[in-house]
Structure 1
């Protein structure tokens, strides 16, 4: 080799550095490629994607052939530099030291760092192209790679390390999936992004968080006079109404107003007629996740359910529309008589809201961060804070938000003033109400 012309040795050195750069490119691109994008390309029938996917199924073999080629080429480059130095300077130690430093610098710059930076920037393009070369190389050098991996596996066993399978390593939990949706803002419309995030939350949100409280539900008393029942049906704002006898605790059924209108053609509607056309009430245990309840509504062909606690007490009502609105946002027309979230902003920046407002709705409307782990309404949160019924004019602070109790009535907090500093109010001045169908 020492008898070869200098230009031949230099050309051979350049070729070795280029080949080493190829393996560095391949290593980084294979490890950095988006696995979900790769699966998509495989489904579309991309041949390079299929080869890349097969290589990544056995990461130890893939890294074995890449590092085998990379290290062999780097060692050959260092040996070639030593030959060039010895042919010109003999066994001069200083010349060998300078040559070693130079070849190390060349390998780092041209065969390691630069190729890996490029591969990290364009992993998909490089990985798919390099798979055409790595696949036959792995077949040729498989015996060597297999022999080396025997020692690797033995060392991992001694260290009690068990590499995860590729499929397990690529699984995403719910929070990671949310982050993925948030980071995909350029590809998913803002509205669709919000709907996907709301859909993920259906497993953590329960029917208690979205129900219409019992005190706000419009219902019909079968023991009332027929004239009162008739007038109530003519002025109701909902398509489905609970029916009870005597007290609201004694719910006997659900009526659909459309069926009642058909009966009105023959005269006034009486309690006896309502008993004939009403359906059995559909009860929902408190704490049922929204996603589970959505499936139950579908399986049972129901649209409205009455929520009961562990003692069988009626707590409120939830409709299919309530769950749908949790996913896509509010879309229905609310009843004008419904006492829901009344948002009114004062000149001093404070906001007047109903005490019966759901905390989730307040957080959504006002951009607050009120705790959701306990009570579901603002009234319940304040009562829990004081462990008593506060008087009007009492001030407090919850979750760093100053509040003032404006009005109390019948053992509940009716109106509250909130000082949401640096928080803009969505839909200021517009009454936003809970609803039932």
Structure 2
């Protein structure tokens, strides 16, 4: 070694530090790279991404070659520094100590921290490039890596750990995927982001959360006077009507109203002609997830179904349009007497129907009514009082002030909701109800 000029030794030392930095950067880059982005590039034919994915699928071997190279280079650098110190200062103990401190500082700054910061910052860009370096190194050093991994695998087995994570562990959960979508606002338009977010919610809610309650369903009672039936068919704004005898407890089926428009005015149009057009009813168990029901609608070629409880009693009505609007937002024309959009009045309150679903109120007014019990505001109020409330009574539901304005037939018809006080709510926009 004394025959080698000092300048060459210093040059070799710099080269060893650079190699150590390369291995350190490789380790951080490969572990920090976005695997989903790499898989997309690999599927598009990107050779570097394909090699990177192959390395990441064998993490134990990839880390083995990186750490093998890094430790060999660092050991060689430390030895070379000791040789240079002895050559310059002789057998002085302080020289060896100083050399140790210098090489530690150099490795820490130039071969560890700086390269790893670069690797973490530009991981997705560097991973396909580094894969071209690591792949041939792994082939060359494979026997050594295999031998070393025998001991690593034995230690992992003693600790009850697996050498490679299961496929399930590397998959994203729905919650993680939802967070990924919400954090991608710079590449996904806001409207598309809202649609994707709604899709994730479909598995968390049931048809009972979205259905039109039984009391709000317009029915065609063929037990009434025929003139009344005829008038209802002419004036109904629904394209399909449930046909029953007396009530929904005696449901006959679903009538596609549009098919009868041309024949309603005919003198030959009677009950038998109407019943000939009635289609069988489609029933949905109350606990069915909305996303599953969307698939069932498609498989059974249905667009409307009646939600039933465990005893077969009809609870409400769900349509394909209800699910689509839950995904993309309201787009159909509102029915008579209904309002799709809700906005706070200037005094910080709003009058709503008691039959309004709590999910709609939470979404449109940014409220926090509980959803694990009753589905409508009327149901929540009745549950709170455990009795039939009277008008002009105020209460707080989950810290939200509600004033009952009108009751009829054992239910709340209308109520006034007051905007909850928040740090962002000006005092001028909040009015406490009079109890």
The TM-score bracket by the shorter chain reads: over 0.9
Q: 1:231-283 CA distances to partner (integer Å, 9 max, x unpaired)?
A: 11111111100111123321111111122123235326322221121111112
Out of 400-409 and 184-193, give the one that drifted further: 400-409
Aligned-residue Cα RMSD (Å) equals: 1.8
Q: How does 1:35-114 map to 2 (within 5 A)?
A: 35-114=35-114
**Is the counterpart of residue 9 in structure 1 residue 35 in structure 2?**
no
CA contact (8 A) 2:89 2:95 kept: yes
Answer whether contact 1:229 1:269 (CA < 8 A) is retained.
Answer: no
Contact kept? 2:59, 2:164, Cα under 8 Å = no
SS of alignment partner, residue 197 of structure 2: helix
Q: Is the CA contact (8 Å cut-off) linking 1:17 and 1:111 kept in structure 2?
A: yes
Quote the Cα distance in structure 2 between the aligned partners of 1:308 and 1:135. 60
Q: Which residue of 2 aligns with 1:198?
A: 198
Deviation for aligned residue 1:295: 1.4
Asked if the contact 2:358–2:377 (Cα under 8 Å) also holds between the matched residues in 1, the reply is yes
Distance 1:321 1:341, change over 3 A: closer
State the alpha-carbon separation in 2 of the partners of residues 260 and 180 from structure 1. Answer: 49
What are the equivalent positions in structure 2 for 1:310-349 lying under 5 Å apart?
310-338=310-338, 343=342, 345-349=344-348
The answer to whether the 8 Å contact 1:254/1:279 transfers is yes
Task: Give the number of the structure with larger relative contact order, counting CA–CA contacts within 8 Å between residues 6 or more apart.
Answer: 1
Aligned residue for 2:291?
291
Is the 8 Å Cα contact of residues 156 and 162 (structure 1) preserved in structure 2?
yes
The offset of 1:164, in angstroms, is: 3.9
Alpha-carbon distance between aligned partners in 2 of 1:365 and 1:207, rounded to the nearest angstrom = 19
SS of the residue corresponding to residue 139 of structure 1 reads helix
In the other structure, the counterpart of 1:430 is none
Residue of structure 2 in register with 1:429 after alignment: none
Q: Which residue of the partner structure matches residue 350 of structure 1?
A: 349
Q: Deviations over 1:34-88 (max 9, x none)?
A: 1001111111111111111111121111111111110111111111110011012
Q: Aligned residue pairs: how many?
A: 424
* Contact 2:153 2:163 (C-alpha < 8 Å) held by counterparts: no
Distance 1:143-1:347 versus aligned 2 partners, 3 A rule: closer
Shift of 1:8: 0.9
What corresponds to 2:142 in structure 1? 142
What is the alpha-carbon distance in structure 2 between the residues aligned to residue 239 and residue 419 of structure 1? 36
- Is the Cα–Cα contact under 8 Å of residues 343 and 365 in structure 2 kept in the other structure? no
Counterpart Cα distance in 2 of 1:326 and 1:127? 40
Could you state the TM-score of these two structures normalised by the residue count of structure 1?
0.93
Matched with 1:370 is 369
1:90 Cα offset (Å): 1.2
Q: Do the aligned residues in 2 keep the contact of 1:343 with 1:352 (CA within 8 Å)?
A: no
2 CA distance for matches of 1:199 and 1:132?
Answer: 39
Whether contact under 8 Å (1:230, 1:270) holds in the other structure is no
Q: TM-score, normalised by structure 2?
A: 0.93
The alpha-carbon distance between structure 1 residues 134 and 189, as it changes in their structure 2 partners (threshold 3 A), is: same
Runs of 4+ in 1 over 6 A off after TM superposition: none
- The answer on whether the counterparts of 1:226 and 1:269 sit within 8 Å (CA) in structure 2 is no
Equivalent pair of 1:393/1:405 in contact (CA under 8 Å)? yes
The 1:148–1:417 alpha-carbon spacing in structure 2 relative to 1, beyond 3 Å, is same
Corresponding residue for residue 433 of structure 2: none
SS in 1 for 2:247: coil
Is the 2:32–2:123 Cα contact (8 Å) retained in structure 1? Answer: yes
- Are residue 384 (structure 1) and residue 375 (structure 2) matched? no
Once residues 112 and 158 of structure 1 are traced to their aligned partners in structure 2, the CA distance between those partners, rounded to angstroms, is 31
The CA distance in 1 between the partners of 2:341 and 2:81, in whole Å, is: 81
Task: Quote the offset at 1:211 in angstroms.
Answer: 1.2
Q: What is the SS of the residue equivalent to 2:262? A: helix
Question: Is the Cα–Cα contact under 8 Å of residues 392 and 405 in structure 2 kept in the other structure?
Answer: yes
Q: Map Cα deviations across residues 329-373 of structure 1 (whole Å, 9 max, x no partner).
A: 0000012245x6784744431221111100011111101111111
Contact 1:342–1:354 (8 Å) recurs in 2: no
Conservation of the 8 A alpha-carbon contact between 1:57 and 1:166 = no
